[in-house]
Structure 1
């Protein structure tokens, strides 16, 4: 005799009712994303500029963004940080590490709390600052596709 039990999703096991008191009083009104909340989500998802704008556009289509949210703000999100970087023929580098870190939200820059990490391969050279306690994310401070890591003996 085949089983007559119907499989239900985990949220509705047989014998459970969705009309109980746990559902009473809940609203179906969505909570809208503010600009800061959207920016946090974009950072958490590690989205590119194009991906950021696409996500914001789709959320706006579904009326899930607060009216004050500006979708196109992600097109120029690097412009505030450009002042801290310089470029010569072979290298792009940070010209003021202390001000960069303060601008990124660090309360105080103490150089002894950071270490320099240099990574190179056949195609590029990259330098980042790493926080000694891993309290902060790595901070890229130099990059080159022309220079190679070399050691003098």
Structure 2
């Protein structure tokens, strides 16, 4: 894939094609597209950053997953408080595929930015997202109170 040819129109067609797949495949493909193609060029990163309120839930997922991945890969951002305000007001009304990415972003903010840790844990307790969800051995639960404690302890943060 030539990232220089990835215009908004081409991405819209890719998203439309991806939507035709079952949920599991759809989410794997959209996450792969974001991580391996869209984040490799400043032009497509600018597009991602404009998708927070896009009508496409898959584009909104990309926006939020990108925000979380920045933090997960050790690139703290200055807009964490603003993002948390938006997540707190929107997460419970969002589609599940977007909720997951918002939860992911909240988790990594809570891990790396100690000043927001209690707020992120409280959000997880309030929403209850992924509470009690079974995970494979060696994997970290997605429930924010558990995720943040485990991941911040691993990093001694």
**Which TM class, normalised by the smaller chain length?**
under 0.3
Q: TM-score, normalised by structure 2?
A: 0.21
Query: More relative contact order in 1 or in 2 (CA 8 Å, sep 6+)?
Result: 2
Higher helix fraction (1 or 2): 2
TM-score (norm 1): 0.22
Higher strand share: 1
